[in-house]
Amino acid sequence: MKLFAILLMIAAPAFAASRNNQERVENLLKRMTLDEKLGQLQQSGGPVEGSLDLVDQAGKGRLSSTLNVRGAKAINQIQRAAVEKSRLKIPLIFAFDVIHGYRTIFPIPLAMASSWDPAVVESASTLAAREAWMDGLRWTFSPMLDIARDPRWGRVAEGNGEDPYLGSAMARAYVRGYQGDDASAVGRLAACAKHWVGYGAAEAGRDYSTTEISERTLREIYFPPFRAAVDAGVWTFMSAFNDLDGVPASANHWTLTDILRHDMGFKGFVVSDWDSVLQLIAHGLAANEADAAKRALSAGVDMEMNSTTYMKELPSLIKAGKIPMAVVDEAVRRVLNAKFALGLFEHPYADESKKAGAPDEESRTVARRAAERSLVLLKNDNGVLPFFPGIKKLAVLGDLADDGAAVLGSWSGDGRPEEAVTILAGIRDAVPETQVVFSSETVIKDADAYVLVLGEKGDMSGEASSRAYLGLRGEDLALARGALITGKPVVAVLLNGRPLTLTGIVDEVPAIIEAWQPGTEGGHAVASALFGKINPGGKLPISFPRTVGQVPLYYNHKSTGRPAEDENHFTSKYLDAPVTPQFPFGWGLSYTKFSLSDLRLSAPKIARGGSVTVKASVSNDGAMAGDEVVQLYIKRRGVSVTRPVRELKGFSRVALPQGAKKEVAFTLGPKELGFFGLDMRYSVEPGPVEVFVGTSSVGGLSASFTIGE
C-alpha cells in the first residue's frame, strides 16, 4: 500500500493536466458518424469475462461502457479493440457496483450511516475505490441516495436511511471518498448518484413499484442528498426505475433536465438503470422501442444501460425529424467530456501487474473501524453488557453466527464469505480463554451466558428483496425462548439489512446490539463491543417499527389536527398498537452515561438572512469512555405551509473520556432555516423557531428564537 501512495503522488499531476478538454470534445464530435455517436450512448451489461461480442462492438466504435467486466486482462482485451481498432480510438469506461467495498467489504451503507461519522464513510469508499481501480474499474454505481421510510423495501440496506440532512452528509462523504480531488487520479473512481429520483418511496415497499410524491416532498426530502452530491462534484447520475407522478423517472424531463441540470447545475452525464429505457413500454408510457428511445433521450438520459433502443431506433427517428441531431450531440458531448476529464484518453489501459487481492492489514483495520463505529446498542437492561470478565462457558446460538455471507450482506462486490470474520470467529478470537460453544439449532443448557445471532441471511435484503413481514425467523425466536428459560444473561446480536419488528425478543432479551451487515471485519467489531474493548456509539438512521402495520414510519412526519398525543378517543392513532416506533430515529445507547446541559442561543431574534449559534454542553457521567452523537432539531409554526414535527439540522459525534465535558456548537442559517413555501420557492419565513438538542429525535433540551421580517 505504501507503493500505491507513491504512485498516487506521481500520477495525479499528469491526469490533472488532461482536464478542461472542451475543444478536444468539439473537434472529436465533428468527426463522428451517427453510428459512432450512438456508440457513445451505449453501455453493455456485459459478462464478467471479456467476450468476442464486446470486443467486436468496441472495435466498431459501437460501445461506450461496460458493466460487470472486471479484471485488468479482461478489461484490456476490450479496451484495445476500442483504442487500437476503432476509427476514432475513443476509450471505454468500465463500471461495476462497488456499493460498500470491492474485495474488502465494509458495513452496508445503512450501517455506515449509523456511525453518524462522514469521515468513516469517506475512508471506506476511498479504500473501496483503490481496490476496484486495481482491477481496472473506473466507475462505480454508488452512492445510492434514495431516502427510505419503508423498511419493507429491501434497498433500504443500500441507502442512508430516512433523513435528508443525514443523507446529504453521507452523500458528500461518498463522493469525496470515491473521487477525491480528481477522479482521474490513480486509485479513484467516478461516482454515480442514484437513483434519480423518488425510488425509495416505492408503494407498499415493493421494489420497482410506482411512487406518488408531492413536489414539496420531492424538493425537501428526496432531492437534498442528490443536490449534495452535485455540490461535491459527482460525475454521473443514474435515472431510476420508478414511475413518478405519471412519468417514469427515466423519461422525466422535469427531474432530469429542469431540476437536475437547470436548478442544480449538474454538468456530468446520466446513465439509465438496467433496461429502464426499454421498461418505459412496460410502464405503459412508451408505445414501442422507438417511442421509449425518443422519450428517454429527450428527457435527459444520456447513456442507455444494457438495452439497445438508442442504437436501434434513433437513426430512423433522426431521419424522420423526430429527434434533433443537437439532442444526440449534447448527450455525446457530456459522455466524451467525462471520459477526457477522467483521463481515459491518456491512460486507457489497466495495469495487468496489479490485482485486488485478499484484504490486507490496512484494509481490515479500516473495515473494522467502520464496523465498530456502525454498531448501535438498542437495549442494555441492568448493564448486561459488556460481559462480565471470567465467563467460563459462552454459548453462541443461531445459524447466522457462523455465516460469512450474512456479515457481508447484499451488493458485496468481489468479497469472499470465506475471508469474512463471522460473529462466532470474532468471539473466539476475542476470548481464547473462554470455552465458546456453538449451535445453529438447539440451546446449550449449561452455559454461563448466551449470545443469540439473529436476523436476516445475506440475500434477504437488497434489490428485489422486499418483505411483507419484518419479524424474526421462527428458528431465531425458538432459540431465544430456549436461552431465556435458562435464567442466564442473554444478549441478541442482529444481522440484518433493514429495520425489523422485534416481537419475541425486544421485551424479553435484556441487551440487543444492532450490527446490521457489518462486512469483512464484522465479527471482530461485534466481539469488541460484547467484551467492552469498544463502547458502541452508533445511532439509528431509520426508525424501527413495532409492527409492519405502522409503516411507512419516520420521525419527521407532519402533525395533524388531532395528533395522537391527545387523550381524546378521536385522534390519529391505532386501536391495537402505539403510534410511536420501537426505536426512534437517532436512537442509540452507550455503556456509559451522557448528559446534556446549558443550552444557549446566540440571539433571541435574528433577521431573515441572519443566523443563530446554538450551543450546549455534553458530559460523560459514567464509568468508561464513550461517544455521544449530539443532535440538533428544529420545529416551525405559524408559517405559510405546515412543517414536520421535527427536522434534523445538525449533528456531532463527540468522544469523551470518563468525567469529561465538552461544548458543542451548531449554526442555523438560511440553508437550515429555509423551506419551500406556499409559492414553492425556497425562502426563510419569519416567525418562531423551536430548537431541540438531544441524543435522539425524541426529547432533549429545548429553546426558541424568532426570525424577524
Active site residues: 273
Phi, psi at 26, each rounded to 5°: -65, -40
Q: Which residues contact 282 (CB under 8 A, 6 or more apart)?
A: none
Q: Are 548 and 386 in contact, with CB atoms under 8 Å apart? A: no
For residue 238 the three cell numbers come to 443514474
The amino acid at residue 146 is D
- DSSP of 78-130, one letter per residue? HHHIIIIISSS-PPPEEEE--SSBSSSBPPPHHHHHHTT-HHHHHHHHHHHHH
Cβ(178)–Cβ(222) below 8 Å: no
Q: Terminus-to-terminus CA distance in the chain, angstroms?
A: 57
Phi, psi of 690 (to 5 degrees): -90, 140
Whether the ω angle into residue 386 lies within 30 degrees of 0, i.e. cis, is yes
CB 119 within 8 A of CB 171: no
The sign one gets for the Cα dihedral 80, 85, 91, 94 is negative
Name which of 151, 154, 138, 194 is nearest 171 in CA terms. 194
How far is 45 from 54, CA to CA, in rounded Å? 10
- The one-letter amino acid code at 492 reads A
H-run or E-run covering 278: none
C-alpha cell at 354: 496489479
Can you tell me whether residue 13 is helix, strand or coil? Answer: helix
The number of helices, as runs of H, and strands, as runs of E, in the chain is 21, 26
Residue 422 neighbours by CB under 8 Å, 6+ apart? 401, 402, 403, 404, 406, 407, 522, 523
Q: To which H or E segment does residue 211 belong? A: none
Distance CA 150, CA 203 (A): 9
Any idea which residue has 469488541 for its cell?
Answer: 528
Complete DSSP assignment for 469-538: --BPPHHHHHHHHHHHHT-S-EEEEEE-SS--B-TTTTTT-SEEEE--S--TTHHHHHHHHHTTSS----
- CA distances (Å), origin 422, targets 117, 149, 371, 450, 451: 24, 30, 13, 16, 13
Q: What single string gives the DSSP state of each residue in 547-575?
A: SGGG-S--TT-B--SS-TTS-SSSSS--S
